Structure 1
């Protein structure tokens, strides 16, 4: 039963719930008020009846003292009102003519007659009538005055309270319904607006900001969510458009070269129609284009994932990441010399993402660095930052290109002939932003480009890290990687 009621309640609308709650609250309030008022009224009526009985008994007692208990005159009963009787010393009683019979004299009343106490107030209920009887000792006997315990005023009061309560419950339900409708009107409009957005897929339609308090904060939160979705959709569209543009050139070149090979092969003139030198150059070109497409696909995948990553953040030595990235870069480009000058600096980050960013910086510098000049990679701690610098001795970056160096797919005019997708530095920017750092570009002392990354040092970087021989953490210089 309880689970069924719970399921029913959960299926009700918020408006219905508020109406039921309002009506229930009013009903409970009316019931509690009725109980308290009934008790107070009953106590007041009982006090009034007892005071009247005491007053009437004193008048009867005065008459009995003057005339005696056996001779005092008891007027005939008028048919309603108080009831009286005289209790003589021997326990016998006298009552007015025509008066209804009272319950027998109780043992407590007899003790009053015997002088155990001066008076006694009794109340009792029977199947027929209940009486309130006051006994007052007079001489060697006592007089008793009684009234029928009348509950009709309380019953009438209860009926009135019941009618008022029902009226209040109905009125409360109606008022609660109206209040719920008025209070939830912004929610209804918000729901309708959200439904329109879901149906039309139009994320540009902001929901009007109305109301105050929680409603206004809810609307603002939904508008902020819509703005974030708009930005995400625009970013996706831009990424798709840029990717389509960048993929067009290598795919077209691949298609043309492969079609040429297919035509020559079908004619049987692959060996005679295409000299060995041209065939080697064509195959090398195909391999380079496939490698470029693979790199572009990997970088597009990395960008499309955004900040979504299964890699956890950990405390790491950035020097280890830089050394690993340099080793990977050298394996990919053996002809590029990389000189490392790194100091152990502890940061909080994602190792794989940071290594990818450092690798992209080194790859970018390797494209521009002359054959006789190494790419210099420096890492040091500067205040609360870990500063990574990648320095090449190339022609440098034009001032007009500096603001767009980290943009997606942007490639300077001088870099059009070089391999690459224009995504490497944008990935660096995203990784650095995700780690709370900043990336910048300047001209190096050797005339080339100087790419700099600043990352915040880990707050617990003061951990005493020991070398294998037990020596404390050090500042070290890793020898440059020479050519083979």
Structure 2
């Protein structure tokens, strides 16, 4: 429809312009011919006189002539059709008021173009009938051509539209099929070109991302079910033991006070472990979605807060800080959780007489945070999987934890455009390093805290 309409408008405009040009050209040619014929007749009239100039009988076609005598009377050839009366302006030419005059008379059924030229004491006139048949024939031809062009344009436009939109139709059908079947493994054939190809590639990329997201959710659910099974089973068995002994009335005799205390402590520890695991699972399942706003913050203040919180959770841990004020743009709670997880991980491995060392400095355009412990370090075989969910090295099986702490660190660091790595420290333990993009501070600030004042005991 758009193609047909555009062609129709183009043909109409072309017809209007062409008609005007053709009419102007025909009129100009006719007027030039009238002037030429008038000059010939005027020259003859001046030689022979207006009253004696020969006027042959009208042959039935061709120009019409008339001689205007000084007294206002006229002479015309025998058999010539009557011309319109001599106009007032034509009379002025005959009286010498004007040299010549071109007039058009289109009011009658037969219109005339009349040219009046001063000759001797009067004037001569040459006229032609206005013939619109060439323009009418031209208009009829343009009408036929226009109709053919409109019909052809509509057919071509329909064909082009169907051909061009065929990939879109198939893309729509594929998208509807995916929405109906929930089958994210579908792949839309990459066809077409230009914007259509880009659209299909974008939708295929979106389906691939959705597949990865679904797979990640499935793996998370499977891993969570596996990790929750052991503590839940242990907790259930201990609780069932207490309930069974209490019902028999043999709780005091079967479990001495010391055993009961140890069992209750185990129950409390298992509840804490489950609570921690559930909290970490919830935090991990949220992915990058967070309602927390991004702020410009001093990472040194955040590390101090995380170290203080770690001390309150594990009283025996000793932490030394070597911090330089470095500003970053990030989510405070998420970054503090990541730093706290790094400290907790180092605290599990560092000997009681060796502190966890935390260093923060600016390095180029990055804020570099290092958490150093004096533990046994990480085996080379375990390094590639340190940040995997639920992964725990063989040597860490007996220690508390869910295997999610470092994976949460990885997720937070990735969300902030940073990088987390692991290496062996100079003390033989693990050195966990986090690089985050540094931000411009609100004002020049430089602070370095070292020594005993920086130890959190």
TM-score normalised by the shorter chain: which range applies? over 0.9
Q: Residue 96 of structure 1: which of 71, 74, 77 is its match?
A: 77
Question: SS of the residue aligned with 1:175?
Answer: helix
The answer to whether the Cα contact below 8 Å between 2:360 and 2:368 also exists between their aligned partners in 1 is: yes
- In structure 2, the residue matched to 1:463 is 443
Q: Is the 8 A contact 1:344 1:476 kept in 2?
A: no
Partner of 1:438: 419
Cα distance between partner residues in 1 of 2:237 and 2:337: 33
Q: 1:252 to 1:127 in 2, by over 3 A?
A: farther
- 2:455 aligns with 480
User: 1:264 deviation in Å?
Assistant: 2.8
Counterparts of 1:156 and 1:268, CA distance in 2: 120
| Structure 1 unaligned residues grouped into runs of 5+ | 1-19, 466-472
- State the partner residue of 1:33: 14
Following the alignment from structure 2 to structure 1, what is the Cα–Cα distance between the partners of residues 159 and 396? 70
- Per-residue deviation, 1:78: 4.3
Contact 2:321-2:449 within 8 A present in 1 as well = no
Using the size of structure 2 for normalisation, the TM-score is: 0.94
**1:445 and 1:138, CA in 2 relative to 1: closer, same or farther beyond 3 A?**
closer
Distance across 1 between alignment mates of 2:25 and 2:364: 84
Aligned 8 A contact 2:322 2:448 in 1: no
Match of residue 106 from structure 1: 87
> What runs of 5+ residues in structure 2 fail to find an aligned partner?
none
> 1:414 aligns to what?
395
SS at match of 1:389: strand
Partner of 1:425: 406
Shift of 1:394: 2.2
Deviation at 1:98, TM superposition (A): 3.9
Q: Does 2:216 match 1:241?
A: no
* Counterpart Cα distance in 1 of 2:422 and 2:7: 71
Q: Aligned ranges for residues 247-396 of structure 1 at < 5 Å?
A: 247-396=228-377
State the shift of 1:461 in Å: 4.1
Deviation of residue 419 (structure 1)? 1.4
Moved more, 52-61 or 227-236: 52-61
SS at the partner of 1:184? Answer: helix
**Separation of aligned partners in 2, 1:81 and 1:267:** 138
Residue equivalent to 1:206: 187
Offset at residue 173 of structure 1 (A): 0.7
**Alignment-derived partner of residue 197 in structure 1:** 178
Note the C-alpha offset of 1:455.
2.2
The 1-side partners of 2:19 and 2:124 are apart by: 32
With 321-330 and 23-32 compared, the bigger mean Cα shift is at 23-32
Matched, 1:60 2:41: yes
- Aligned-residue CA RMSD in angstroms? 2.0
Report the CA distance between 1:321 and its aligned residue. Answer: 0.7
1:170 equivalent among 147, 151, 165: 151
CA contact (8 A) 2:321 2:359 kept: yes
Change (3 A) 1:399 1:66: closer
Check if 1:449 corresponds to 2:430. yes
Q: Tell me the distance in 2 between the aligned counterparts of 1:54 and 1:187.
A: 67
After superposition, give the CA deviation of every residue in 1:99-125 in whole Å (9 maximum; x if it has no partner).
333222122211211223332211122
Deviation (angstroms), 1:170: 0.9
Asked if 2 retains the 8 angstrom alpha-carbon contact of 1:22 and 1:176, the reply is yes
CA distance in 1, matches of 2:349, 2:449: 27
- Confirm or deny: 8 A CA contact 1:130 1:148 kept in the other structure: yes
